[in-house]
A and B are shown apart, each in its own frame.
Chain A
Amino acid sequence: MGTYIARRLLLVIPTILAVYTITFVLMHATPGGPWDSADKPLPPQVIANLNAKYHLSDPLWKQYVEYVGGVLHGDLGPSYDQQSMTVSDIVRDFFPVSLKLGLVAMLLGAVIGLSLGIVAALHQNSWVDHVAMFGAVVGIATPSYVMATVLILLLALELHMVPTSGWGGVFSTRIIVPALALSLGPAAQLARYTRSSVLEVLRQNYVRTAEAKGLRYRAVVARHVMKNAMNPVVTISGVILANVITGSFFVETICGVPGIGRYFVTAATGRDYPVLMALTLLFAILIIMANLLVDVAYGFLDPRVSYH
């Protein structure tokens, strides 16, 4: 198992390099630069000064290499947009917020989704099943920003349980609205995957054997069904987790959460190259790590899988 993990970690390097190269090429191929403003175009002298200051007038290969050199020294570059912060500042200040919010949302989503899915599968075709699956469809179909807005109206304006926006850390009431809004999608997806997976396992021969042997239903479910049903659920959880952690632009904007999600969008539309590159690489690393975690989890969950 150890060598497997080590090998996977080594593979991260060429993957990240490929992501970096593709992103770099796409970034510079897209029309429009950081100093093109919808306001009055800047005078050429000012643009020349800005390009000199940020090394944008250097040849592309030089910028490509310089950035890698900078990253290896821990310098992720300045932000063109937020001039008083460096990219490291931005990632350091805002990524933990998104991380915490994402983890809480994922936890919520997992709890809600898994329980709904299991209950629905165990009572297949009953009213419980129909209600749960209808809820799942609504959850997948409802955009997170709609949910966030509805929750704000309900919890903040009507019931005055929480303030309308802001961030107070993981243990404050302010996390309720964004976490709920973010957890809806994952919960719904997990519910459906869990349900179909459990249903499939319930039809397996070893389950029938266990029941025939006289084991109580609950024991059958807990001991034999659950672990084996988790395979597809774990697979999809990895990617969902990465998505949720990198923050949802909409939920963060509406709920006033100072996370990293909005920087993905504003850096792209504003051509803030250093921020854009750093976030893309961050997202790539997160997905790689999430997939690695999922693959390692298989080793424990599924006895048929072995990494030795």
Chain B
Amino acid sequence: MLVSPITSRFNRRQFIQYTALVGGAILLDACGGTTANNTPTSAASSSGGSSSTSTTSSTTSSTTTTSSGTSSNPATPFSSTYSQSFLLNPPPAGVKLASDQSLRYMYIEPTHLDPGLATSGTEVYLIYEIWEGLLRFDAQGNVQPLGATNWDVSADGTVYTFHLRDGVKWTDGTPVTADDYVWTWQRNEDPKTASEYAEALYIVKNAQAINSGKITDLTQLGVKAPDPSTFVATLEGPAGYFLRLASTWTAMPLPKQSVTKNGTKWVQPPNAISNGPFKLTEWTPSQQITLTRNEGYWGQKPTLQTVTIKLVTDPQTSGLTAYENNELDIAIGPWPADFARIKSDATLSKQLHIVPLSQTYFVVCDTSNSSSPVSKPEVRKALYLALDRTQIVTKVFQGLYVPAYTILPDDILGHNPNAKLQGTVQDAQNLLTQAGYPGGKGISLTMPYSQNANNNLIAQVLQQMWQSNLGITVTLNPMETKAWTSLFESFGKTHYDLYFSAWGSDYLDPYDWMNFLFTTGTDFYHAHWSDTQFDTLCQQAAVEQDPNKRAQLYSQAETVLIAGAAYIPLYHTATPYLFKPWMLNYSYQATGGRPYTQVEIAQH
């Protein structure tokens, strides 16, 4: 996903574009051997316009799911080949637990905690602890049944029948039934709810028509509850990623009794009725959120009794001070001014943990701007070669990031380090001469960006390296965030020179990068770059079942992408965390994690 600069809001969206085609086969690691085939779907709609990648849905409809009637769970259609997950501080044998099991954290205040409306990481990480849906995926990509014990998929892959678990209750004591699911999905697609995330469920039959107002009868949505413990979802077409979708927050059931009575205030305690491992017991605006263990939870209850989240505008700065004062158990970075000190501090360096993100920063050039030097591929290649990424990463970002010579992060299938452009600064200068700009004379570029501390660093280092290594002139144009976003949206129709941006995976598949961002029909970044070979490779890879062939196709596509030099990769990012040594058993996964359910606090 497009990543906002590190400002006061972390916007990390997960699982947004489910109208995407997810093709390909993934090997299940744990079960071993079975291959799940995802059926390509025709894209219902998407802001990116995946017209170039739509295929017919009829022919290859095969999943490893058994025919309806059996009670076995269909194999998970998706698991990542590489995993960013880790388990921190597993409890040593015989460790004594503290009598006060409470965890303290500090983060940005969520704008609300409504699973039907949430879009950003600020809300989602809490929602996963408080509510739960039909199922979830663990760090290894294995499916864990939650609200549903098992499910069947019809032969054509369009009807999913979930059998719900007995004994799952809302925190007010009433049972969670299939009607809750039906009502919630209808409510989330209701245009009056105006959910920013409504598009995620567009794969459900009639969802888009309802959300755009073409159908006004909500009961036309492809969900029904033939009896209180069966929930049936009918899709527009087969979609191998549907289970992933069903595991996200937007598919979680909501307490109708509270939402209808309390309106927008239903997310405030005591109205925030939930069904997950924790309850929301306190939310003092701008001050604190408290979660308490849900004693009525059907499954394994968390060891933690309370989780306290202090709410601030700048969790990195305020959090570090508080962490060092022992007021917090976890602190999230980055801390540009303190990182060197933390790394060299004897105590803190042991508590530091750097989590790599599936995210890349890169420069985008307007290849169609004939009045700009960047329309020439030699100039763009020169810009690529003139950057010393190792220096950028070590000097400017203190070794926190990883140089990127290709676009895909290394946890995405098809990552191809061989696609890197070879050459030195000298070669870059020769390319400029070839293009008609000896010594860089005549090249004057303007680079706008959204102004904040992090972006200022990036912009300045790029400007400095290009100016000193190539002799060109780069003018920076720092802008206010919304003004920049407005400008970015206009790049579809207007010309520019270049700018930098970042993308992070919504889900761990190359489709979310190659097909979704860079193909001719999508051109998410308005680079106006079009290559038929690239398009063909991506289309083939989208429907390819064999994971090896798929990896090969995407690797080739990456080579074409880098050779085109419309996108100049810079580095992959990571987030540093500090964990107190008595905080045990923190399980992190790239998406869909709920670590607080596992955490234990040792005596200290």
Contacts and interface: CB of A to CB of B under 8 A. Distances in A.
A31 interface: yes
B8 interface: yes
B321 A256 contact: no
B482 A31 contact: yes
A90 B321 CA distance: 28
A266 interface: yes
Nearest to B283: A84
A83 B111 contact: yes
Given A83-B111, A164-B322, A256-B312, A39 B194 contact: no
A286 B487 CA distance: 36
B215 to A, nearest CB: 13
B489 A36 contact: yes
A37 B11 contact: yes
A263 to B, nearest CB: 9
- Give the most central of B109, B194, B327, B450: most A CB within 10 Å: B194
Given A32-B486, A38-B2, A84-B111, A43 B46 contact: yes
Nearest to B123: A83
Interface stretch (B34-42, B89-97, B262-270, B537-545): B262-270
Interface residues of A, number: 49
B211 interface: yes
Given A37-B485, A84-B111, A253-B314, A46 B199 contact: yes
B480 A269 contact: yes
A84 B114 contact: yes
Nearest to B487: A31
A270 B482 contact: yes
Interface string B296-321: 00000000000000111110011001
A39 B194 CA distance: 18
Contacts of B119: 39
B268 A31 contact: no
A81 B16 CA distance: 20
A45 interface: yes
B324 interface: yes
A156 B324 CA distance: 11
Contacts of B318: 164-165, 253-254, 256
Interface string A287-304: 000000000000000000
Contact of A39 (B120, B311, B484): B120
A164 B120 contact: no
Contacts of A157: 321, 324-325
Nearest to A256: B312
B47 A166 contact: no
Given A164-B322, A164-B325, A41 B287 contact: no
B325 A49 contact: no
A31 B488 CA distance: 12
B interface, over-half SS: loop
A284 interface: no
B3 interface: yes
Contacts of B485: 32, 36-38, 41
Contacts of A163: 322, 325, 327
Nearest to B4: A38
A42 B196 contact: yes
A152 B325 CA distance: 11
Given A82-B111, A256-B312, A167 B287 contact: yes
B207 to A, nearest CB: 11
Given A39-B11, A42-B196, A83-B111, A94 B211 contact: no
B45 interface: yes
A253 B16 contact: no
B493 interface: no
A44 interface: yes
Contacts of A253: 312-314, 318
Contacts of B486: 31-33, 36
8 contacts: A31-B486, A48-B212, A78-B264, A83-B117, A152-B321, A156-B325, A157-B325, A164-B318
Interface of B: 1-5, 8, 11, 13, 16-17, 45-47, 109, 111-114, 117, 119-120, 191-192, 194-196, 198-199, 208, 211-212, 264-265, 267-268, 284-287, 310-314, 317-318, 321-322, 324-325, 327, 450, 480-487, 489
Given A46-B196, A164-B321, A253-B313, 9 more contacts: A42-B47, A46-B195, A53-B192, A82-B112, A82-B285, A84-B265, A153-B321, A164-B318, A164-B327
Interface of A: 30-33, 36-46, 48-50, 52-53, 78, 81-85, 89-90, 93-94, 152-153, 156-157, 160, 163-167, 253-254, 256, 258, 262, 266, 269-271
